[in-house]
Structure 1
Amino acid sequence: MTSYETITCTLEAGVARLQFNRPGLLNAMNRQMMDEIIHALEAITGDERVLVGVITGSGRAFMAGADIKEYSRQTPEEFNSFQAKGRRLYALIEQAPIPFIAAVNGFALGGGFEIALACDFIVAAASAKMGLPEIHLGLIPGGGGAQRLLLKIGLGRVKEMLLLGQSYSAARMEEWGLVYAVAEDQALEDTVAGLAEKLKRRPGQAVKAIKAMLEPSAIEAAFETRLDREGAAVAALYQSPEAAQLIREFTAKNK
């Protein structure tokens, strides 16, 4: 895959691995890094060989948010452009036809936590810390973090996270239902690999349909509309060669 300066992106056995690579700055995201992440995500989601995406960080952090030195020097136009690109980045993950796993190896703060929230699964190292500390800068999350949290946990906890701006342990995030699994630090890669292997074996058309059905903008539709979409999706899948073959195999095996 393409070579980058601030990230690495590799593909092996159907799993694309995107790794943030500014460890000396806790993988803080500047404009170049954001552009490279978006380019890599577009390549990943457009590549039919990719069955699962994994996003992680190098060094002690997943991503410690935006690069504040660059962030503080932005003009209003640059700031608006940065925010718009951020929303594009999160949407590429959330609306992808494949599942994404956030392998949170360390600090996932601000925009880094928002990236993890856009993924379908978060697997976190036991030592990882997550949170939305924007209030300490007189700001709020600007990439949809608060809105995604509202779909995952209760209003009271979302207010707590945003108003206090604290960092939370992986165990607490698992307790709240945000983290799929917590692994000992040295076992993180194996845990993520095991989950990716399971997801790889799931039928691709059904995975794509599930992701489309549960994407945030889709679940905001009226209940009857969602029922109609679900019915249309299962009817289309039932008539697909993939499902027909799997149904035949299941029937033969259970005779």
Structure 2
Amino acid sequence: MYQTLTTQLEKNILIITINRPDKMNALNQLMMQELGLVMDEVYSNRNIKGAIFTGSGEKAFVAGADISEFLSLSPKQGGELAKSGHVVFHHIENSPKPIIAAVNGFALGGGCELAMACHFRIASENAKFGQPEVNLGLIPGYGGTQRLTQLIGKGKAMELMMTGDMITAAEALSWGLVNHVVKQEELLPKAIAILQKIQAKAPLAVARVVKCVNAALDKDQDGYEAEIREFAACFSTKDLQEGAAAFVQKRQANFTGE
């Protein structure tokens, strides 16, 4: 179905693998289109309860954009390219189902931006992160200037983007860019284990957590008002009734997403 991605659905978790190993999984326009399509699938398929993005092989998650596509672009076309990337990454960031980036090597440029659009990130010990666009006379164009600043703070983000330097997985962990660093062979099992834990929770509540956390970083929203609204909405759900009853009865809740 896809030319640049492979997908595997197991136990309600969709593993999406960026699959251009001969190009270090570099992000091109076709891949961006297919990322949009696979996210449509995540949103619409009730059998998918969460998703993991990772890269094929052990060297790269996504080692940047396919720069050869940039050489012939006009400013207008460059703007259109950035807009299309913003739409797709916004779709990932606002997914009501949990999305984890399992970063298994280089996550540079658009690859770092893809990882940052996910709800959170797990890295293998050999992972490296960076926004080296200044080396090409560019800046990050898929939300990197915004999300990196939100995740690691203004000073560190400025330094990383202005120098074009890469940071190691250990540095990414200490800076708050990733949640966990594990051995390469433990990467997908760790991501799957976290998603399975989330799957046991109330899915509507999980979706509302995403809404409220994202509202905290949206200048056009009042995050506190979003929290009040979404908290109130929980009281109309069967999941709250089930969760409260299970707590009182000292049993495991059986959430249905209703």
Q: Is the shorter-chain TM-score for this pair beyond 0.5, marking a shared fold?
A: yes
Aligned to 2:46: 48
* SS at structure 1 position matched to 2:70: helix
127 and 146 in structure 1: CA distance in 2 versus 1, 3 angstrom threshold: same
1:231 is the counterpart of 2:231 = no
Cα deviation, residue 216, structure 1: 5.0
Deviates more, 1:177-186 or 1:207-216: 207-216
Cα deviation, residue 168, structure 1: 0.7
Partner Cα distance (2:135, 2:169) in 1: 22
Match of 2:243 among 216, 232, 246: 246
Instruction: Specify the code of the residue in structure 1 equivalent to 2:109.
Output: G
Instruction: Specify the code of the residue in structure 1 equivalent to 2:81.
Output: F
Aligned to 2:174: 175
* SS at structure 2 position matched to 1:108: strand
Structure 2: runs of 5 or more not aligned: 252-258
* SS at structure 1 position matched to 2:192: helix
1:199 is the counterpart of 2:198 = yes
CA contact (8 A) 1:114 1:143 kept: yes
Cα deviation, residue 219, structure 1: 4.0
Instruction: Specify the code of the residue in structure 2 equivalent to 1:88.
Output: V
Partner Cα distance (2:236, 2:35) in 1: 37
Partner Cα distance (1:94, 1:192) in 2: 17
Aligned to 1:138: 137
1:208 is the counterpart of 2:204 = no
Partner Cα distance (1:7, 1:73) in 2: 25
CA contact (8 A) 1:30 1:71 kept: no
CA contact (8 A) 1:16 1:52 kept: yes
CA contact (8 A) 1:6 1:22 kept: yes
Partner Cα distance (2:117, 2:215) in 1: 10
CA contact (8 A) 2:170 2:181 kept: yes
Q: TM-score, normalised by structure 1?
A: 0.93
Aligned to 2:254: none
Render the CA deviation track for 1:204-250: whole Å, top value 9, x for unaligned. Answer: 0001111111115764256xx43332122112202311110110110
Structure 1: runs of 5 or more not aligned: none
RMSD: 1.6
Runs of at least 4 residues off by over 3 Å: 75-78, 216-219
Aligned to 2:60: 61
Sequence identity of aligned pairs in percent?
A: 35
Deviates more, 1:43-52 or 1:106-115: 43-52
Aligned to 1:120: 119
Aligned to 2:108: 109
Aligned to 1:30: 28
Q: TM-score, normalised by structure 2?
A: 0.92
Instruction: Specify the code of the residue in structure 1 equivalent to 2:148.
Output: L
Aligned to 1:13: 11
